[in-house]
Amino acid sequence: MNQPFIVTKEHRRFTEFANAVRKEKTIGICHGDAGVGKTNSARRYANWDALEPYINKWGPRGEHDAKHYALANRSRTVFYTPEVLCRPKDLMHDIDRWQAKVEICADEHLRSRETEPTTTPIGMSHLVDLLIIDEAERLTPTALELLRDRHDREHLSMILIGMPGIDQRFRHYPQLYSRLGFSHHYRTLGREELLFVLDRHWKHLGQQLDPEDFTDAQAIAAIERITRGNFRLLERLFPQIARVLKINGLETITDDVIEAAASILVIGN
């Protein structure tokens, strides 16, 4: 079961970055260490956790259509992760398909609000104005050139998400690099944000976090040391903490519980 999305300061910064890229109709780069939350923020921004399964299903219309049409119109964004061995032709075909379906949904929402019917062709509306590509390291030089050409022809805003150093890689492609308008470094959780996230997890386990309490302070220090503010590690750690508590019949989250939970996980240096 997926954890509820937690709106952090970094997510708000990503949202501001994405809005700026969209407004300026430019290409932006988002880079950060693995697990800090880049993908989660991008999917949240695009409403992709709701839209992707709906579009994939793409069957007879039903009673939930209006909600998804409104989401598509609100985001007007396509989120796409290329395959590992990505062929440029397949990449563009997939993007065209996702873009067309999001535009159809957004168009249906707009039509439902009109007082008079319109005859404007759906496919010509270009309602999608932002394309977010995750795992951008997988893109070949040809794929990057095709995306740059799409940006130039359609003024389609784009965000390329990758690991640290991806901005340096793009320096080797002057035509693409000259069109980069914004670069966003997605950082790990700071101390205050970590406490905010931990408070949510403590409550989920039926407990109250008190940083002034010695036991809780030790637990917080252990989590800081193990995760170093990495959001994905936090999300992986707490199901194991709940498991350790249940197996041992414990009610208090201590540093020993956290160490036991962490020993089950594979955590890189």
Mapping DSSP onto H, E and C, the string for 95-111 reads HHHHHHHHHHHHHHHHH
- Which pLDDT value is given to residue 1? 42
Let me know how long the chain is.
269
Strand 130-133: give its sheet, edge to edge: 77-80, 130-133, 157-162, 27-31, 180-185
Supply the angle between the helices 65-75 and 88-112 in degrees, to the nearest 10.
Answer: 110
pLDDT tens digits, the chain, 269 residues: what are they?
456 788 889 999 999 999 999 999 999 999 999 999 999 999 999 999 999 999 988 767 777 788 999 999 999 999 999 999 889 999 999 999 999 999 999 998 888 877 666 555 554 458 999 999 999 999 999 999 999 999 999 999 999 999 999 988 888 888 888 889 999 999 999 899 999 999 999 999 889 999 999 999 999 999 999 999 999 899 899 999 999 999 999 989 999 999 999 998 866 54
Predicted model pTM: 0.87
- Which pLDDT value is given to residue 115? 63
The answer to whether the CB of 166 falls within 8 A of the CB of 31 is yes
- Tokens 């308008």 locate to 181
The H-or-E segment that residue 158 falls in is: strand 157-162
Taking Cα atoms as reference points, which of 131, 146, 136 lies closest to residue 170?
A: 136
Domains in the chain: ranges and CATH: 9-185 (3.40.50.300), 191-264 (no CATH)
Give the tokens for residue 97.
């398909």
- Which pLDDT value is given to residue 241? 94
- Which pLDDT value is given to residue 265? 81
- Which pLDDT value is given to residue 95? 96
Alpha helices in the chain (DSSP H): 9-24, 38-45, 48-57, 65-75, 88-112, 141-154, 166-169, 174-177, 191-204, 214-227, 231-248, 255-264
Taking Cα atoms as reference points, which of 186, 141, 191, 120 lies closest to residue 159?
A: 186
- Which pLDDT value is given to residue 178? 87
- Which pLDDT value is given to residue 269? 45
DSSP readout, 218-258? HHHHHHHHHHTT-HHHHHHHHHHHHHHHHHHT--S--HHHH
- Which pLDDT value is given to residue 29? 96
- Which pLDDT value is given to residue 5? 82
- Which pLDDT value is given to residue 267? 62
